[in-house]
Amino acid sequence: MGTEIERKFLPYLNDWRQLIQSSSLIKQGYIAREGGNIVRIRLEEGLDFKKATVCIKGTPLHGATPEFEYEASLGDGETLFQLCENRILTKRRYLVPHEHHLFEIDEFLGTLLPLVIIEVELTENQEIILPNWVGTEVSNDRRYTNASLVDCGIPR
């Protein structure tokens, strides 16, 4: 079983843009959502790759989320996307290294514009030095999960 420990933040400054290592365009759809359990499909395209992944996430417990992610063929990914109906979001993901971590910065597009969320994945009890461009932490605010953003839009 995989486990994801992730912290999320809103940006304080845009200085991270000068530090971008790479980026990709992500189209993400939700096939099912019940309670805290989610099944999603993601189509991701970068400069030299295009891939599809299916992810099953369980209910978060004590800051950790059970997560299972599997690569799918692009054909299967596009077919599964049809099951998502209107539960789809698009974002550009930027990878920005800082200290010994890789920050994923999602700039949402479409109806979620101009929302930007900074994420960093950690191991249990791992310390982190936050860069000066990181602002308010929203890790425990369920309104900032992608699944909630699809259903409810940008939190007010």
C-alpha to C-alpha distances, 59 to 3, 37, 52, 121, nearest whole angstrom: 11, 5, 23, 17
Q: Is this model's pTM higher than 0.95 or not? A: no
Q: Is residue 71 within 8 Å of 53, Cβ to Cβ?
A: yes
Q: Which CATH number does 2-152 carry?
A: 2.40.320.10
Q: What is the pLDDT of residues 103-147, one digit of tens each?
A: 999 999 999 999 999 999 998 778 899 999 999 999 999 999 999
The string of DSSP letters for the chain reads: -EEEEEEEEEES-SGGGGG--EEEEEEEEEEEEETTEEEEEEEEE-SS-EEEEEEEE---BTTEEEEEEEEE-HHHHHHHHGGGTT-EEEEEEEEEEETTEEEEEEEE-GGGTT-EEEEEEE-TT------TTEEEE-TT-GGGSHHHHHHH-S--
pLDDT-based confidence at residue 26 (cuts at 50, 70, 90): very high
Q: Is residue 19 within 8 Å of 96, Cβ to Cβ?
A: yes
Amino acid (one-letter) located at 64: A
Task: Report whether pLDDT(1) > 60.
Answer: no
Q: Is residue 5 within 8 Å of 120, Cβ to Cβ?
A: no
Averaged pLDDT, 144-156? 94
pLDDT at 41: 97
Q: How many Cα neighbours within 13 Å face the side chain of 152?
A: 11
Which residue shows structure tokens 């993901």? 93
Backbone φ, ψ for residue 78 (5° rounding): -70, -35
Q: What is the pLDDT of residues 53-99, one digit of tens each?
A: 999 998 877 777 888 999 999 999 999 999 999 999 999 999 999 99
Domain extent listing, the chain: 2-152
